[in-house]
Amino acid sequence: MLANRIRFCLGAAALLTVLGALPLSAAMPTDRTAAPDTPRENDATVVVCNHNSLDVVVYAVSEAGKRFRLGIVPRTSDQALTLPEQLADGNTQFRLRIYSLRPSQAASITRGYLQAVKTNPLTASAGDEIMLYVMRPLAESFIAH
């Protein structure tokens, strides 16, 4: 099921690219964090379909303010990110925060954020899948279950 959703996201990204909706002229950062482990079947995941022309970094933030970095998703690509077990208990509310990264050739520690957006409160249980569509502009991003 996860593979089918990722293929759907890839197809949608290809269509948008063909239609010219995604300019690909921005410089790509050379520093990438290691790809997160492949989600297991019982993990709660956030499938990010990044239709933005910039890389984005995705965080999950609990209502108590604890922040979990889920990962970086390169521009015009899709990636499944695993939610931490502390948030995937079915009761804990959290929000997803999405930041677009300023294109830079500098090390990631000096790379800055351009914009940010956060979702409404969400909950997840083991095995749940949240679809996050990151759009351009970032404020038009949305969640689909």
CA angle 67, 97, 21 (to 5 degrees): 155
Given a contact cutoff of 8 angstroms between Cβ atoms, the answer to whether 118 and 61 are in contact is yes
pLDDT for residue 108: 54
Q: Model-level pTM?
A: 0.69
More confident residue, 62 or 24: 62
Q: How far is CA 105 from the centre of its chain?
A: 21
* Sheet containing 45-50: order of strands: 78-82, 45-50, 129-134, 142-144
129 confidence band (pLDDT: 50, 70, 90): very high
For the chain, the first-to-last Cα distance in angstroms comes to 13
Given a contact cutoff of 8 angstroms between Cβ atoms, the answer to whether 20 and 56 are in contact is no
Given a contact cutoff of 8 angstroms between Cβ atoms, the answer to whether 50 and 74 are in contact is yes
**Domains with residue ranges and CATH for the chain:** 2-144 (2.60.40)
pLDDT above 70: residue 62: yes
pLDDT for residue 113: 73
